[in-house]
Structures are given as structure tokens and as C-alpha cells.
Structure 1
């Protein structure tokens, strides 16, 4: 009986240690977002990331055949808004990866990405965006973050996926 209690205690300790470590490394990037009015129908969305020490996040410009690049999915956009041009990134680092045999482009420390949006429907009051990305240190972790931009009030916030408005329609 005593041996069973010890085994049970060790299993529980291992189980909770695993989740404690996972919780500590599950989000080594902190995001902030903002929206600015550019013209009567265009807005600039800015995503600012701050990575923990020694972590990096792959850029939108990461080529095929390499690690997973940062990707934007604009949710519920059909007929409401559209992107104008390509997103612009702050400074990145590029190095050759001998495993994938491609140049990898990634962010370290603090970085920003901006995207201009044109609102096509004046009744549209929000923009929802999903960011999919891979962050790496000694291991790589795929992540997703969700943002909602309030157009009339020029406010932005990171949100939990389940709280996205109209989240079922993807563009």
C-alpha cells in the first residue's frame, strides 16, 4: 500500500510538473495591437510583438520548405473589408538553415507588423484577425493569437478565440 501511494504521488508530481513547465513556455511572445485611421475608408492595423530572451518568431517572408511562417487570417471579411498591399515588417534576421537548406527569416526581441485595411461596408464596425506563427528557442511551438479591432472607436485588443464575433466565416 505504501508503495502505491508513493507511485501515485510521483505520477501526480510528474503530471503537474509537465503542465507547470508547459504553462511557463506556452507563450514567449507578448502582443499589443492598435488601429489608426489613414483615410475615410482605410485603417492601419499594427501588431507589436515582444519576445522573451533567446526566442525567435518566423517572419511572413519565410520561404517554402522551411519552418512555418507567420500568417494572417482576416476573419469575416468578405464584402466588409480587404487588405491593401502586403504587410510591412520591422527589421528581421536571415540565416541559412542547413537542415531545411533554405534561408530562414525571423524576428528577435521586439518587432512590428503593419497592414493597411480598406473598409468596403460602412456598417462594418469590427475587424477580426487570427495570427498563426511558430516560435522557437531549443524547441519550436506553434501558436495562434486572435485580435479584434473596433473601427468606430479605434481600439484593438487581443481576445480569446471563443469570444470572436462571427468567427465562423473566414476570408
Structure 2
């Protein structure tokens, strides 16, 4: 009887794992960020998307009728304003799925956010960076997805 419960438990666990959402092919990390920022100061944060082999991520600007371009933004109420976003130079090649040249990254993609700390921010603050992106391989594109990256830092007077 005990064996039946163990086997039944394993089957339930396997079914739950099979129905769980698949792992996204892009994992986001903070590559560089200051630990302390003065109120009103300009600073940079660099994030990196690490892509699974065979997958690619699109650039910040894409042609009409092409893939969904990557978008980087901050959440409402963050302790800084986003001035601009820079990306590493993407590869530009004909995309077989969209049948036109697209800019994309393979392996990894770095994005540098140029920011300005709020002048009236609380002593302990941070950022929540939103990255909306579409990832594709040579056969299929996943629907656009938004990930949140938390960047802790302190506003010091």
C-alpha cells in the first residue's frame, strides 16, 4: 500500500511539472549598478539578457512588419527617471521568420540605462526595470513577454 502512495505521489509531481510553464529562453541579470546614488545624480545601470542556445532576442528598433522590438522601462514610482537606453550593436541579417532584415542578439544582450535619481527620493530605494521582448529560434517565435528586474540601491544625501 505504501508503494502505491509513493508511485501515486511521483505521478502527481510529474504531471504538475509537465503542466508548469516552460523556462523562458532569456534570463536577465544586473551586470553593473551603483550601490549608492546622491539625489538628482545621473548614473547608469547595465542589464544583461543571457539567451539559451539557438534563441535570439530582438533589438530596440525593428522594421515595420518585423518582430516585436525589445522595450526597456521603469515601473511607476521608481526612484529615478529613465533618460535613454543604449544597446550593444545587434547583428543585422535576414530573418527567415519575418523575411526581412532584423537586428538581434544571440548568446547575450547588454542594455545600459542612463538614469537620473529623483531629487526627493526616500533613503532606501531601488528600481524595477521592465523588459518587454520577443524571443525566437529558427522555427518559432514566442509571444512577447515582460520580465521585471529588481535593482537595489540607496539614495544617500
State the shift of 1:62 in Å: 1.7
TM-score by length of 1: 0.66
Instruction: Name the counterpart of 2:54.
Output: 54
C-alpha displacement of 1:112:
0.8
Distance 1:38 1:111 in 2: 25
| Per-residue Cα deviation, 1:83-138 (whole angstroms, up to 9, x for no partner) | 22x31112311123476454211110122110111012342412222111011112
Q: Does 1:147 align with 2:149?
A: yes
Shift in alpha-carbon separation, 1:101–1:53, aligned structure 2, 3 A: closer
Q: TM-score of the superposition, structure 2-length normalised? A: 0.71
Q: Work out whether residues 75 and 128 of structure 2, in 8 Å CA contact, stay in contact via their aligned partners in 1.
A: yes
Q: Is the 8 A contact 1:88 1:115 kept in 2?
A: yes
Question: Greater helix share, 1 or 2?
Answer: 1
1:91 counterpart (77, 89, 92): 89
How many corresponding residue pairs?
Answer: 135
Map of 1:1-171 to 2, 5 A cutoff?
A: 19=19, 23=22, 26-33=23-30, 34-36=32-34, 40=38, 41-77=41-77, 80-84=79-83, 86-97=84-95, 100=98, 102-124=100-122, 125-137=125-137, 138-141=139-142, 142-152=144-154
The runs of 5 or more residues in structure 2 that have no matched partner are 1-11
3-state SS of paired residue (1:152): strand
- Contact 2:73 / 2:82 at 8 angstroms: preserved in 1? no
| Structure-1 separation of matches of 2:37 and 2:28 | 25
Deviation at 1:36, TM superposition (A): 2.5
- State the superposition RMSD in angstroms: 2.9
Residue 151 of structure 1 aligns to a residue whose secondary structure is strand
Kindly state the Cα deviation for residue 77 of structure 1 after the two structures are TM-superposed. Answer: 4.1
Q: Are the aligned partners of 2:53 and 2:107 in contact in 1 as well (CA < 8 Å)? A: yes
